[in-house]
Every structure is written in structure tokens, then in C-alpha cells.
Chain A
Amino acid sequence: MKCEVCVERLEEYLDGEVPAEEQEQISAHLITCAGCSETFGALTAEQEIFARYERDVEVPAFLWTRIAQATVAANIGKEGGWRAYFFAKPLAGVIAILLVAIAAGVVYVMSRRPTPKEIVKQTDPTLPRYGTDLVQERANRDEEQPQVKPEEIVSVPRQQRRVRPAIKHTPRIDQSDVLSSDLGYLDIDDQDTAKHIEQTQNLLRSIRNVSVTDGDEDIDVSYDKALSRRLLNENIVLRRDAEMKAKFPTKTLLADVEPLLIDIANLPDRARPEDVRVIKERVQKTEIVAALMGYQDRDPINR
């Protein structure tokens, strides 16, 4: 292949958009041609710069609320009536539980031998209260609960229930398979690496846990493929940073992860089950998920 032809195709080669046969020719040419190899290196470096570009924009917490009000909530309002009632599943569930509890209490009270009423003073209001006032107390407490209308439930942003973890947070002790992280004391490079590691770990765990057998239908991996591409770009940048800063454990970990991200990124949007299985088995064999989990447990100084 001539250099003029190669240079003309290098951008598409970098983009992964050349046919397989041409890709091989270009790869072979780059091995032997210093000039073209240098140009390709410069293109790659440029790509890395853009991969690090950070926009000053985030998804604001109120955005879903506004969208929901104009879409799903409006849809429920239009349908109205019993559909609106049944959409408020949480409220229906709470009411059902309370009714059962009240009925059980009444049955219990009725079955007991009558005894003189005694009101037990409690110093700790959270302790259970025994006596015939229990049912009345529960009923009183229920009446004090704010009555939430279905449309209010719909408009409550989910972020209030599933809060996006802030950078400083305590490890979630009830989720042993989730990377615990306390990023507050890390410098910004380590924070970026830790976030990247966590996202990569989740992607590889989903690959590891997928149930697939040969002969099944093709699998839609388009989303995971796109995610892997993004993570791969980040991984390249972070790996080189770690190397320059002599953070060799981090560099080694990121180097181990990279081939897996490349393979996932190179899958077709609809992948054959055997192709997914091969990657799954490599993830299992290399125990890379455990290695990624172990990253955060290390002394931050020695990462």
C-alpha cells in the first residue's frame, strides 16, 4: 500500500470504518512505515485530547420532573378514573396494608379476655404499646398520615427515593458486590479513575452474569457496545496518565481491562451468542471483576 493511499484512509481507520481487508493492509503498512505510523500516532493523540473534553453541563435533578409532568403524568390525567387510581400503586399498597393491620388488630382485641384498661406510660415512644388502645393509636396515626393524591405521587421526582450518591459517601455495607468507595479524600485524578473503574466493573459484571447458550437468537448489545467504546477511550487516557505518574498498580489494572473493552466495543450491534459467551468466559477466567473491586480497597497512596 502506498503512503498517499494510507494517509488518506487513516482517519477512517482510526474511526473503525474501513472494511476488514483494508484494515489489515493499513495495519501492515503502519508496521513498516515510520512516517505513516507517526501520523497515525498524532491522530490518536488528538483523539485522546477530545476524549478528555469536559462539558460544563449536567442533567439537572428537576428535568425528569418537568418531563414527567408533560408526558407520563399528563397521560395518566387524561385517562383518569380508575386508571389514575391504580397508577398510584404505592398508595394502594399502603392502604391495603393498613386495612389488613386494622382488621387483624380488631380480631386480636375481640379475642382477648376483657381486662381493665391500663395506659402504660412509656419513656420511649418507639417501643410497642400494649393494651386496648393499640388499635385506636394506629387508627389515629393513620389519620395523621398525609393523604397523597395520585398526581402528587407521579410528580415526586424519583431522585428523592433513589438518590444519586455524592462524591463523599459512606460505603454501602449491604451490597457486598458493589464497589465501595469513599472518594472524598482522593485527588481529582483518583476520583476520575475510581468512577471509571466502577462503571467498567458494572459493565463487565453484566457481561459475566449474562445467560447465553449457543443456538439462541442474536443478542442486542448495542447499548453495551456504545458504553464500552466510551469507557475504552477513558481507559486509554487514564492508563497513560497512571504510567506517567508511576502509579503502576493502577496502570496494570487498566491495561488488563482494555482488551475486554476492545472486544465488547467491536461486537456487532446484534451479536451471536457464541461471541458474547467467549467474552463472558474471559471475564470469568481472568477474575477481572474481583480485581476491579479490589482496587478501591487498597491504600490510596499505593494505587
Chain B
Amino acid sequence: MMKRLTVDELNLEAQPGAFAGTLMNSSADLVTRVRQGDSDAFRLIFERYSRPVISFIYDMVNDRALAEELTQETFVRAYRAIRTMRAETKLSTWLFGIARNVARESLRARARAGNHVDLADKSVMDLSDNKPVPVDGLLSKELNELIRRSLAALDEDKRLVFTLKVLHQCSYEEIAGITGFSLAKLKTDLHRARAEMRKKISPYAGVGYEV
């Protein structure tokens, strides 16, 4: 049983996806409270994880409206299944696992429906020139867009591991828990995903090397 910490009450405005109650409400405590019928606890879980979940789903489906819809589905499923969540499982891993399944089902449903799932617009980006874009401050709009399209062009498994590792800083262990992939497959897909992304962005980002 984890120690329940007592800290001075932090006067934080709860914001969607914010860090409401850091160290005050551990994820395990929140799960226990939700199981006991505490709706405030579920609200806190939503506020803590909604932004990373919607970002992750967006990375997978590349459609904002669809990402919102699938995020809703993720949290509804999570609420209904929370009693089945194992005690040793991390809440973030479990939630991302649900999000991954929701996203995958959506992508496959679209493919089965005959809608060509072309997540990446393959038209060549019309850049005014091919000089590397200075990487200072924010990314240029063009480079940001290029990353989005390049990510969408990866196959599903590579996109999944790249998103979780590089964009969401999950550990290999967490990624294996979310995806069910073996460590070997995870590392291979990640390495190849990085190589593909590097190849696409290097002319515009001023990075060019082989690893």
C-alpha cells in the first residue's frame, strides 16, 4: 500500500489536462475513489489525462474532430471498466492502452468501410525554398506541418511507438504495456520510425546524419 502523502493544500485551478493535485492525489488513490463512486475523482482523472490522451489519439488518427470523439469514447470505456483494472497497472498505461485500442478500431473501421485511410496528404509541400528552417523559438509552421504529415505517413505500429516514445516520453516498459509489443519489436519499430522521420525532416530542419 503506497503511503498517502499529506501536503499543504495547493490552490491550483483545475484545467483540462493540467497537473491537478500533484502528489496530493496519486493515481492509485483516484482509481480507488472512482470505484467507490466518487465522481470528483473521475473528473480529476479526466483533467489530468485528457490532454495527453487527446494528443496521442490525434497523433494516431490525424483528425481533430475524430480525436475528440475517440477521447470521449476512451474515458467512457475507462469509467465502465475501471473495476477491472489490475492494482499493479499504472493508470496512464491502462488509459493509453484503451486509447490505442479505440484509435485502432476507428482506423480499421474506416478501412473496412472502404474509405481509403490516407492519413498523409502525399502532395509535395510547396516550400518557398529548400533552405533549412532556423530552429529557434517555435517550430516554423511548415516544419510543424511536415512533422504531422510525416507522422501520418508512418505505418500504424511505427507511428504508435514513435508517438509514445518521442512525443509522449513513455518508457519502453510503458510502451510494451500499452501496445503489447515485445521489447525487440518495439525497439526495431522505433529505430525505423526515427530513420523515416529523420529522412523526411532533415532537409528542412538542418539535421542530417545516419544512425
Using CB atoms and an 8 Å cutoff, list the residues of chain A in contact with chain B: 7, 10-12, 15-17, 38-39, 42-43, 45-50, 52-61, 63-64, 66-68, 70-72, 75-76, 87, 154, 158, 162-165, 175, 177-178, 188-189, 192, 199, 202-203, 205-207, 209-212, 216-224, 226-227, 229-230, 233, 241, 244-245, 269-270, 273
Contact = CB atoms under 8 A, between A and B. Distances in A.
B177 to A, nearest CB: 12
Contacts of A245: 136
Contacts of B85: none
Interface of B: 1-3, 5-8, 10-17, 19, 22-24, 26-28, 37, 39, 42-43, 46, 48, 50-51, 54-55, 58-59, 64, 67-68, 71-72, 75-76, 79-80, 90, 92, 135-139, 143-144, 147-148, 165-167, 169, 171-172, 187, 190-191, 194, 197-198, 201, 205, 207-209, 211
A49 B79 contact: no
Contact of B7 (A68, A202, A209, A230): A209
Contacts of A192: 138
A56 B64 contact: yes
Given A60-B68, A217-B3, A221-B23, A53 B76 contact: no
B22 A203 contact: yes
Contacts of A55: 55, 58-59, 148
Nearest to B2: A220
A134 B191 CA distance: 76
A10 B211 contact: yes
Contact of A209 (B2, B8, B28, B68): B8
A233 B167 CA distance: 10
Given A71-B75, A218-B2, A222-B92, A206 B10 contact: yes
A71 B82 CA distance: 12
A72 B39 contact: yes
B172 A45 contact: no
Contacts of B46: 64, 67
Contacts of A46: 194, 198, 205, 207
Contact of A42 (B75, B190, B209): B209
B5 A211 contact: yes
Nearest to A48: B135
A53 B147 contact: yes
B98 to A, nearest CB: 13
Contacts, number: 186
Contacts of A210: 5, 7, 23
Contact of A49 (B23, B68, B205): B205
Q: For A163, A209, A273, which residue has the most chain B Cβ atoms within 10 angstroms?
A: A209
A50 B64 CA distance: 19
B75 A67 contact: yes
A218 B4 CA distance: 10
B42 A72 contact: yes
B19 A203 contact: yes
A223 B21 CA distance: 10
Contacts of B42: 71-72
Q: For B137, B165, B191, B211, which residue has the most chain A Cβ atoms within 10 angstroms?
A: B137
Given A10-B211, A60-B68, A202-B12, A223 B27 contact: yes
A15 B165 contact: yes
A75 B82 CA distance: 14
A57 B211 contact: no
A27 B28 CA distance: 36
Given A53-B148, A59-B17, 19 more contacts: A10-B211, A11-B190, A16-B171, A46-B194, A47-B166, A49-B147, A49-B201, A49-B205, A50-B166, A59-B51, A63-B50, A66-B72, A72-B42, A175-B11, A206-B10, A206-B24, A221-B23, A226-B92, A241-B137
A42 B206 CA distance: 10
B43 A64 contact: yes
A43 to B, nearest CB: 7
Cβ-closest 10 pairs across A and B: A72-B39, A217-B3, A71-B79, A59-B16, A206-B22, A42-B209, A57-B58, A220-B26, A209-B8, A229-B169
Contacts of B135: 45, 48-49, 52
Contacts of B7: 206, 209-211
B194 A11 contact: yes
29 contacts: A12-B187, A39-B211, A47-B166, A49-B147, A49-B207, A50-B147, A52-B135, A52-B138, A54-B139, A55-B55, A55-B58, A55-B148, A57-B58, A68-B43, A70-B76, A71-B42, A71-B80, A72-B79, A158-B14, A163-B13, A164-B15, A165-B13, A175-B11, A189-B137, A192-B138, A205-B10, A210-B7, A219-B2, A223-B22
